Amino acid sequence: MRRLLRPGRPDGKAGGTGDRAAAIRRRLLLAALLPLAGCAGDPGPGFAPPGVPAAFRAAAAAEAAPALPADGAWWQVFGDPVLDDLVARATSHNLGLKQAEARLAQARALQRAAAARLWPTLGLTAEASRRDGTLTNAAATTGPLYVLGTTLGYELDLFDRLGREGDAAALDAAERERLRAAAHLLLQAEVARSYFLLQALDAEAGLLRGAVESQRRSARLTEGLMRAGLVSELATTRLRAEAEALAAEALALGQRREEAEQALSLLVGEPATGFRLATAPAPATPPSIPSGIPGTVLLRRPDVAAAHHAWRAGELRAAVAADAWLPTLTLNALGGFAAASFPAVFAASAASSGLGALLGLPVLDGGRYRANLAGARAGRDIAAAAYGQQVLLALKEVEEHLAALRWLAAQDATLARAGQAARRTRDLVAANRARGLASQLEVLDAERVALREERQALRIRAARFVATVGLVRALGGGWGA
């Protein structure tokens, strides 16, 4: 079973009686005025958005997954207070979020401006001029004229053009709101991802520091044996070289950790100079992901919803552009005073008023109508294609992270067995060395293999955390229905 995401009203509800009446009125007026218009152009091919699957592929494990917080704080499922604090600080201080908030405020202001066009306008006028000829309500035919008055104007929305422009502006505001939510989700995911990578770097650096101390201690013991003539210089030199090589790798990890810490400071919105994060504990096992995640969770992805709103707004603007050849009717009311001298303006005899109606119908515009219509339809098609692309991208990201979690879980289990075997081999070789049955070089090789397996296991575990964060973001902030 596949569901299609199709446009509707800006509020997501079905059209009511008022909408049907407006549509009927518009069709009747279009039919009456159709002979006055030229060819409005083809409406363009329909767009069928990509469907979403009933369920995604199975995750790495079919165990019962932990429930996510109801308030959308999905990162709390990891149970790390340091991560909770970082996300809270980023939400409060990140400058990218402040930009998204400002863009939303701008879109809402434009929405209010578009809605205001449905209301009458009232203005005050004051004029002083010199004219020749007959002056209305003036004592002389030539000379100065002073006018004080009030104007009232109202454009009748005969064909729902202003209403649809207001709906399009409302969709723009809804798009900005979803983009703000997408910025929030992306920031939360980036903070969690950076924190887990930093955790992995700290854990790996701790392993290396322990290995360096062990190698240097072995090198010092071997140097004493070398001076006593019990071992060769080759064994001592190799131990010293191995210890210094591991120390160099630990320094490289320190540099990477500092870079990760600086990147995290930018996400949190704090100066890198004063930002410090204590050594984080080694990551544990990430939470289990349920199997059979419904495809409908993509409907809540903020970037998908934003693209959907943009497509619907494009359709409305294309319809407005197609109806631009229809006439406009504006009602005007005037009231005020006009006199040949300024003091006489305030006399009761200088009062004047008027009421009029202005009907406008474009006839020749040099091709402006066709160009605007083509541009609006192209914008609609761009938004439709962008929406379809966003749905496909969301599907790809979800399946990609689910596949990564499956493979990483299998690698983690394999590396756990390999690490256990490597540690057992290291212990056996060390015991043989104590009985004189193995050389120091064999001990060194066993320790190197055990260290390699432990480091690889740490990296795979960190990758599982990062993939879990990526999946939560790809699902729009959680895996629940």
What is the CB neighbour count within 10 angstroms for residue 119?
Answer: 10
- Per the DSSP assignment, residues forming a β-bridge with 351 are 337
The SS3 call for residue 29 is: helix
Tokens of 314: 């494009």
Position of tokens 């790996």?
204
Contact 113, 164 (CB under 8 A): no
State residue 70's pLDDT score: 60
Contact 298, 304 (CB under 8 A): yes
Q: How far apart are CA 83 and CA 394, in angstroms?
A: 26
Give the DSSP letter of residue 479: S
State residue 377's pLDDT score: 93
Give every CB contact of residue 124 below 8 A, 6+ residues apart in sequence: 149, 150, 151
What is the CB neighbour count within 10 angstroms for residue 306?
Answer: 23
Q: How far apart are CA 361 and CA 472, in angstroms?
A: 54
Burial readout 123-153 (b: 16 or more C-beta within 10 A, e: otherwise)? eeeeeeeeeeeebeebeeeeeebbbbbeeee
Q: Which domains does the chain have, with CATH numbers?
A: 47-118+157-326+361-474 (1.20.1600.10)
Contact 460, 411 (CB under 8 A): yes
> Which amino acid is located at 144 in the chain?
P
**Residues of the chain with confidence (pLDDT) below 50:** 1-17, 26-44, 60-62, 135-139
Q: How far apart are CA 89 and CA 86, in angstroms?
A: 5
Closest to 91 (Cα-Cα) out of 192, 216, 230: 192
Greatest alpha-carbon span in the chain:
131
The SS3 call for residue 441 is: helix
State residue 44's pLDDT score: 46
Tokens of 85: 């604090």
Q: How far apart are CA 104 and CA 465, in angstroms?
A: 32
DSSP assignments along 290-355, one per residue: -SS-BGGGGGG-HHHHHHHHHHHHHHHHHHHHHTTTS-EEEEEEEEEEEESSTGGGGSGGGEEEEE
Instruction: Please report the sign of the dihedral spanned by the C-alpha atoms of residue 258, residue 260, residue 266, residue 270.
Output: negative
Contact 296, 481 (CB under 8 A): yes
State residue 437's pLDDT score: 83
Q: How far apart are CA 108 and CA 323, in angstroms?
A: 25
Contact 173, 165 (CB under 8 A): no
Residue 381's Cβ-side half-sphere holds a number of Cα atoms within 13 Å equal to 10
Closest to 268 (Cα-Cα) out of 364, 166, 191: 191
State residue 135's pLDDT score: 44
Q: How far apart are CA 355 and CA 370, in angstroms?
A: 35
Closest to 306 (Cα-Cα) out of 468, 90, 103: 103
Q: What are the Cα distances from residue 147, in Å, to 141, 302, 350?
A: 15, 55, 9
State residue 424's pLDDT score: 92
Tokens of 104: 């939303």
DSSP assignments along 88-138, one per residue: HHHHHH-HHHHHHHHHHHHHHHHHHHHHHTTS-EEEEEEEEEEEES--TT-
Tokens of 285: 């096992």
Q: How far apart are CA 257 and CA 412, in angstroms?
A: 23
State residue 206's pLDDT score: 87
